[in-house]
Structure 1
Amino acid sequence: MKYPKIRNYVGGKFVDASSTKRIPLISPVNGDLLSEMTCSTDGDLNAAVAAAKAAFPAWSQTPIKERVQVFFKYKNLLEKHQLELSELCSEENGKIYSESVAEIEKCIELVEFATSLPQLVTGEVLEVSRGVECKTERVPLGVVASIVPFNFPAMIPHWTIPNAIVLGNCMIMKPSEKVPLSCGRIAALLKEAGLPDGVFNVVHGDTDIVEAICNHPDIAAVSFVGSTKVAKIVYQRATQNLKRCLALGGAKNHLIVLPDAISSMTAQNVVASMSGCAGQRCMAASAMIAVGNVDHIIEKICEEARKIVAGKNLGAVINKASQERIEKYITEAVEQGGKILVDGRNTIVAGKEGGTYVGPTVIDFVTPDMNIAKEEVFGPVIGIMRAKTLDEAILIENANPYGNAASVFTQSGSAARYIMEHASAGMIGVNVGVPVPREPFSFGGWNESKFGVGDITGKSSIEFWTKLKKSTIKWNPEATVNWMS
């Protein structure tokens, strides 16, 4: 193994989990054994929650202006260790190095936003009657948990870590068992930045530990990012146990391409959206709706797709099971009448024969009833559906149960506005293939892409990670008593 065995992080120390269930960590890049993870038990989770509970009184009572100083130092450490963190991310996830660098840069941006929180949670004070004032303030929830997926080993944990902790909570982080290395390194850097022991804890495991988190009586809130199927289960289980829950699920993002779109820019954006991070992101374009005659743009898309080469500017998919599942979608689409324009099946990278790769794939004449048009493929694959009008395109987009993102490519302001107003998605792009909002704007979809209220990042996350305390104060006994006082 290249790395020592993966351990939990509890109360400021790395400790062994206590079960006998072990999961090998295989690099999707080349099939090498990186490490081994031991799954945690309910007792291991109890220990982490106890550490967080013990740390909460002192941390929550520390003024936010002091809490945030840890994250100024932490930001500097992320910058200092960006090379190391990027390499680690690529090894365990399979994405190319430049994508991992961008992931750590986004982590830094998320931390930067958290350092602004003291200016955003100042509360309000108003004299409501002579000598009587009302005051509001945001207070932390207590012990919270964050359950994160494999596709962004560092970035998605940073959707929750900085904001939740700066706002005064103590956290239990449950990384994906497919990419557990990055969270351990994050824990070590937070400690180096001065975060008190117990404020941040990492518990490794699989489905059993997710269920234990949802059931634990001392965890006040749970955030989750993953598939819609599991997001529904987590949301139902957590809320049934009277917890706050924000669960982000899957997506089927539609790119609507009109004949007047700029060919080169559209093709580059479509291909970058469908193939970036090997298509393993909930903002990836996996469905394109060609409105009218856009064959000239489709030809350009195929040209751009052929420039994407596995092992060079295209990373691996996470494991063999994912590779087989993605290729099954492609084969099924062909059997149902789709026409492959670029075929990424059976991709092998020389010198990395043990890796799990799928090449960029473009399939034309997909129909909305095909599985590849309805379900999240999570690979570098785009299916092209045909529509005669904008209204027909909107009907196709609206019929999909997901609602993360939708984009339109056009030079018509009225057409763009029409899509912006009618697409059923929480994040809209105009001539942008991956319409992820930058901080302080929040990330979050609609429909079956999100369960719960609010968004997971940006200013919207403040509401989720805190509760509102209202105080009414009177110090002048001589004041006349009335209905307000």
Structure 2
Amino acid sequence: MKYNEIKNYLNGKFVSGMGEKYDVYAPINGEIIGEFKAATKAQLDEVVAKAKAAQESWAGLTAKSRSKVIYKYRELLMKYREELSVVNCEENGKSMEEAYAGVDKAIELTEFACSIPQLISGKTQDVSKGVNCKEERRPLGVVASITPFNFPVMVPHWTVPNAIALGNAIILKPSELTPISAMKMAELWEEAGLPEGIFNVVNGGKEIVEGICDNKDIVAVSFVGSTPVAEIVHKRGSANSKRVLALGGAKNHIVVMPDANKDAGSRDIISSAFGMSGQRCMAVSVMIGVGSIDEVYGEVVAKAKNMVPGVDLPPVISEAAIKKIEDYLDYAQENGAEIVVDGRKVKTDEGYFIGPSIIDWGNSKKMSSEEIFGPVLEIRSANTIAEAAAIQNESPYGNAAAIFTQNGRFVDEAIREFQAGMLGVNIGVPVPREPFSFGGIKDSKFGYGDITGVSSIDFWTNLIKITTKWNPEHKVDWMS
């Protein structure tokens, strides 16, 4: 095994877990590349207690002092970009191009964290004669971030740098499928000079997630993963009086108008649907054609048919993921859909590869609302933008929606009707860039606020208001 034992990072030390043993597989060939023992609830509770003590000292530093460590960490991300990308590729199955992009996005997210001292300077105002009010941001304490397999480098950087820059100590629980990147992050934080106990990695499965939700000294929890688990984490954490922001799944829609640019539109739709083999919560799952879109439709189908697993498509994460995709294609066939491109026909014997699939439902309403999370694009037809928007609105999810057109009036109507937190015009993956925040609506998010950008500052801090009176006179006005 290349990585042998993957350890937890607890209070500045790499420590073996004392719980269940997990194997880590390389999706590209199905081979075991590492193993780890999960931390126990007792180990979690112990590290939280130590993190609580460490956080008090960390919070006592000025934001500018803390930012020096964040700047150094950013430098190390750049220095070890190649190594992190290779790990990302090996444990997740991404192509190297996608792995580089994930690390580059992590660097951008860390750069935002570097700017936090300027963003939390606070407001101050003389509200009456001799009376001043001001605001300041104070950290919460010990917080936790539970992250998924699909972006083992990028998604932890949605939360970790911001939470640390704002004065918190954080417990990272990475996916048990991709724990190696988190161990590398721990090495970089240590090299950057972060004090012991401020960043911790606790590996494990359900028991650790439950332990995080239940531990009274963890005051806030972020989660990114499937909707069913996001809802459970939100309910359990909230029941224990925690601040919880849990991001779930998605089934994103792109509306294509007859005037859509054939080349740019088909390229973006293919990239959105099949990039990372569809394993991202911002991938397009459904293309809705309004009227005749034969040119874009034909280009999308032709491009998909020419995609080769292992060349144009990385593997999916596991055998279970392949089974879910195959089961859904069976469901579509049984319910009258046309399988225009069948990824099952190009499945490989080695690794977790499966080809792209395109399912044409026409006007049928039997398309499932289930998130497939694989290289599957479903096609629906509509006569008007209103009909297309109604199809999008029926989805229980609300991460992203987009329209492809050259007509501003079409854009206005679609944007007004879409029900999603992140909307796009002629863009297949409408992810906001910093300082704008990432977050959906409906069943794509449980809790209030967004997980990145300026909105994240609200989540990781308390807003403190201070009123000061130096006026010795009595009743100068009603405020004094």
| TM-score, scaled relative to structure 1 | 0.97
Q: Tell me whether 219-228 or 49-58 shows the greater mean CA deviation.
A: 49-58
Which residue number in structure 2 is paired with residue 155 of structure 1? 154
Which residue number in structure 2 is paired with residue 389 of structure 1? 384
Query: 2:476, 2:253 → 1: CA distance?
Result: 61
Query: 1:222, 1:157 → 2: CA distance?
Result: 13
Percent of residue pairs bearing the same amino acid type: 52
Paired AA for residue 360 in structure 2 = D
Q: How does 1:269-348 map to 2 (within 5 A)?
A: 269-348=268-347
Query: 1:346, 1:48 → 2: CA distance?
Result: 49
Q: Deviations over 1:319-351 (max 9, x none)?
A: 0000111111112112211112211114344xx
Which of 358, 361, 373 matches 1:362?
A: 358
Query: 1:366, 1:402 → 2: CA distance?
Result: 21
Q: Deviations over 1:286-318 (max 9, x none)?
A: 111111111221111012213322111210000
Which residue number in structure 2 is paired with residue 217 of structure 1? 216
Q: Tell me by how many angstroms 1:4 deviates.
A: 2.3
Is 1:4 the counterpart of 2:4? The answer is yes
3-state SS of 1:460 partner: helix
Is 1:193 the counterpart of 2:184? The answer is no
Paired AA for residue 422 in structure 1 = E
CA gap 1:114/1:476 in 2 versus in 1, 3 angstroms: same
Q: Tell me by how many angstroms 1:126 deviates.
A: 1.1
Paired AA for residue 27 in structure 2 = P
Paired AA for residue 283 in structure 1 = M
Query: 2:468, 2:385 → 1: CA distance?
Result: 57
Q: Tell me by how many angstroms 1:475 deviates.
A: 3.4
Aligned length, in residue pairs? 480
Query: 2:382, 2:36 → 1: CA distance?
Result: 48
Which residue number in structure 1 is paired with residue 445 of structure 2? 450
Q: How does 1:80-479 map to 2 (within 5 A)?
A: 80-349=79-348, 353-365=349-361, 369-371=365-367, 373-477=368-472
Which residue number in structure 2 is paired with residue 77 of structure 1? 76
Q: Tell me by how many angstroms 1:44 deviates.
A: 1.1
**Structure 1, unaligned runs of 5 or more:** none
Query: Do 1:123 and 1:136's aligned partners in 2 also have CA atoms closer than 8 Å?
Result: yes
3-state SS of 2:253 partner: strand
**Structure 2, unaligned runs of 5 or more:** none
Q: Deviations over 1:267-301 (max 9, x none)?
A: 11111000111100000011111111112211110
3-state SS of 1:382 partner: strand
3-state SS of 1:471 partner: strand
Query: Do 1:266 and 1:297's aligned partners in 2 also have CA atoms closer than 8 Å?
Result: yes
Query: 1:14, 1:433 → 2: CA distance?
Result: 41
Paired AA for residue 200 in structure 1 = F
Q: Tell me by how many angstroms 1:48 deviates.
A: 1.7
Query: Do 1:266 and 1:431's aligned partners in 2 also have CA atoms closer than 8 Å?
Result: yes
Which residue number in structure 1 is paired with residue 21 of structure 2? 22
3-state SS of 1:102 partner: helix
| TM-score, scaled relative to structure 2 | 0.98
Query: 2:4, 2:298 → 1: CA distance?
Result: 48
Q: Tell me by how many angstroms 1:237 deviates.
A: 0.5
Q: Tell me by how many angstroms 1:477 deviates.
A: 3.5
CA gap 1:239/1:73 in 2 versus in 1, 3 angstroms: same
Paired AA for residue 453 in structure 1 = Y
Query: Do 1:86 and 1:97's aligned partners in 2 also have CA atoms closer than 8 Å?
Result: yes
Paired AA for residue 14 in structure 1 = F
Q: Tell me whether 322-331 or 277-286 shows the greater mean CA deviation.
A: 322-331
3-state SS of 1:266 partner: helix
User: Over aligned residue pairs, what C-alpha RMSD do you find?
Assistant: 1.3
Which residue number in structure 1 is paired with residue 33 of structure 2? 34
Q: Tell me by how many angstroms 1:481 deviates.
A: 6.2
3-state SS of 1:155 partner: coil
Over 6 Å off, 4+ runs: none
Query: 2:318, 2:210 → 1: CA distance?
Result: 24
Q: Tell me by how many angstroms 1:130 deviates.
A: 1.9
Q: Tell me whether 288-297 or 242-251 shows the greater mean CA deviation.
A: 288-297
